[in-house]
Each structure stands twice: as structure tokens, then as C-alpha cells.
Amino acid sequence: MAGMALDSTTVVTTLSFVALMSGVFLLFMGRRSDATAPAVLWAVSNLFLALGIALVLQQNTHELAFLCVIVSAALMWVSIANFNKRPVEPIWLMAGGVAWVFVSYGPLADFGFQAAAYMAVSAVYLLACTWELWRGRAEQLPARWPLLGLVLIYALTRAFGATLLIPYQAASEISAGGGLWPIYVASIIYIIGSTAFLMAMIKERTVAGHQHAAQVDSLTGIANRGAVMEAGSMAMAQAFARGKPLALAIFDLDRFKGVNDTFGHRTGDFVLRRFAEAANAGLRPSDLIGRIGGEEFLAVIPGAGAEAAVAIAERFRDIFAESAIWIDGKPVQATVSAGVAVGQPGDQIERLEGLLDRADRALYAAKAAGRDRVSLSVESEIPPTRRTWRAWPKASRIHIAS
């Protein structure tokens, strides 16, 4: 079996070549992606790794080789931090190299000590990279997890390798078939796998971004018509299946054309954004708000009966009225009217559009009654035995559509 052992030069050359090709691939593909900086940083990291591995084969260059590998690990951390849009303080990048130099050139330093030190320092940087991947887990990217696993295993392999390298006195003593074989195997798997999963993660973010853009109103940042209608249909089906009501509230900014004509379209855009902010401030976790037209918005309020739905709509109206007195430095004093409709399981409404028609009629009633008020559709009227003044917000403007 000894004759079948791989030559160390062959293994190291293979590792260097794989790292080089991975770096070149990432440089080429990364420049064409939506996350150029992380891909390029990871590519440069692989190029430093390739250089460091290649220098191990040369005479009297192992110090530079070890430093290149440390830089490679640090750049991997920076790449993922950049992907997560977080800065890395330069002092932490310099600390690893300084620590390695301090340890490696101490009174007890020899090849084994230097090799163990570079392995340990690079393992720390790889663990920082693992932590950064974990910190960004709120962004649902499936490729994040295999990449995190690879980086973690590679970091632990480096830490394990640090304990194995101390006895060696020179690079020539290291055999490819000896106790360092887990490091060689892990390195090849890591270089290839991390490159693939990083590109997959970048692609997943790009696809998710396109899907998000297709569902979000670009001006206000809330759901667009298609997204809120789809979510509303699903919410209604789920609510009715559980025997719960679902309410819709249509909001229409009062005299919005006059706002644009008087103060300009820029201020009009600020008014639309201000309403979206006010609506989000009044939402419960289960509610959804979306823009369905020029100055029209739709709130989907699952599980809410007439009293609760009107109270929520009235809160939207009140928050917006208070926040829209001055907008963009101008006395806009914008207001909003709302039409509320509540659907119950078994009341002959099968599609969201039917409930939307009720809310729309209630909105027209609110406009006809003088604007700046909430109107409840006649189909959703609260039974007299349950209608009390305590059910309505203070200073509210509630109107029952006839």
C-alpha cells in the first residue's frame, strides 16, 4: 500500500490548480452577477490560496506561503460580510497576520510552529466566516446552509491540522499519504464546493430580488395590486376554512389630484409614501397593506369582525391625518377615506373580488358623506345589540353605508 501513496508534490500541485481555476471562474462569473464584490473577493481569496499552496513547493518560501493562506481565509470572511452588507474593521484583518508573525518569529519558532500558527489563524478567520453566514440566516437562501457547513468543516480541519504540524521540521517531511490526508481531501472538497455554493447563493438572492420586485410597489415599498390580491385570496380561504371572518378596507386619498396640482407631483409621491408608512404603523402582524391603484390602497385584515376592522381602518385614518399635516415642508393637510367590508363563512362570498366590491361601495359612501371618514358596508353592519360607543375609537368619523 505504501507504493500507492500519492506524491506530496502531485497533491499540492493539484490543490493549487483547483484553487486557481476556482478563482478564475469566480472572477469571470462574479463580474456578471448582481453581487460582484462578494464573488470577486472570494475569487481573490482562492487566488491567494493557489499562490500560497504553490509557494509551499518552493525552497525557503514557506513563510510567504503561510501568509498567503491566512490572507485567503481573511478574504473569505470579508466576502461574506460584504454579501451581508456589513463592514469588517481593518484592524481585525491585520490582527491575524500580526499574530502569526509574532508567534512564527518568536524564540521557539521553527517550521512546525509556523505551520501550526498559520493553520490556527486561518481557522479563526474561517470560523468568523461561518459566523457571518449564520448572522445572515434571516435571508432565506437555501445554498447558505451547505456553504456554512463546508466552511465550518474546513475551519475545524484547519484547527485539527494545526495540532498535527507542530512536530514537522521542514516541508519536505510532509507526506501526502501521511496523517495530513484529511486536510488535503477537505481542501479539494472545500475549494470546489464553496465556489459552487457561493454562486448558488448569489443566484438565489438575484431570483428572490426579482420576485420581490414583481410583488412590491416601487414608489411606496408595500405590496402591489397583484401581490395583495393573491395574498388576500389565500387569507380569505384560510379564514373561512377556520370559521373566521375576513375584512377588507379600501383607502382612497382625498382630493389627491388637488395635492398634485397645488404642491406638485413630488409632494404627491411623498403623500403616498406617508400613507404607506402610516398604514404599516397601524398594522397587526397578520394584516397586509398594498397599493391597488394610483392613490388607492387595500388592507387585508384576517379574523376581524366589523368592529375590529372599522377600528383598525379608523386608526389608519387618524395616524395618517396627524402625520400628513406638513409634508415635504408644505402644509398639505392630506386626509383619507375608507370603505370597510367584512366577509363571513357561508355568506355567499366565494371570491375576494366580491368582498372587494362591497368595500368599494362603502368607500364611495364615505366620499359622498364628506370624506375623511370610514364607511362600513351595509352587508357588514354590526347588529344593534353589539354596537356601542366604546367599540369606536375616540373622535372617529364612522359611517354606515346605505
Q: Give me the count of residues in the chain.
A: 402
Nine-digit cell string for 183: 486536510
Residue from 362, 241, 347 nearest 299 by CA: 362
Nine-digit cell string for 245: 371572518
Q: Do the Cβ atoms of 27 and 33 come closer than 8 Å?
A: no
User: Grid coordinates in use for 271?
Assistant: 403623500
**DSSP-derived 3-state class of residue 231:** helix
Could you give the 3-state DSSP secondary structure of residue 220?
coil
Residue 126 phi, psi (nearest 5)? -65, -35
Single out the catalytic residue among 132, 295, 314, 379.
295
295 catalytically annotated: yes
What pairs with residue 291 in β-bridges?
A: 297
Q: Which of 264, 397, 379, 267 is nearest to 337 (CA)?
A: 397
Nearest of 332, 337, 335, 326 to residue 361 by alpha carbon: 337
Q: Report which of 225, 328, 322, 226 is spatially closest to residue 273, judged by C-alpha positions.
A: 328
Q: In what order do the strands lie in the sheet with 336-343?
A: 288-291, 296-302, 246-253, 336-343, 374-376, 398-400
Torsion 256-259-264-267 (CA) sign = negative
Please give the C-alpha separations between residue 348 and each of 116, 117, 171, 363, 393, in angstroms, as whole numbers: 75, 74, 82, 21, 30
Long-range pairs, 51-57, Cβ under 8 A, ≥24: 51/16, 53/12, 53/15, 53/16, 53/19, 54/12, 54/13, 54/16, 56/12, 56/171, 57/9, 57/12, 57/13
Rounded to the nearest angstrom, the gap between the alpha carbon of residue 220 and the centroid of all alpha carbons in its chain is 19
Using the 8-state DSSP alphabet, how is residue 293 labeled? S
What lies within 8 Å, CB to CB, of 66 at 6+ separation is: 52, 100, 104, 114, 115, 117, 118
Q: Point out the residues that are catalytic.
A: 295
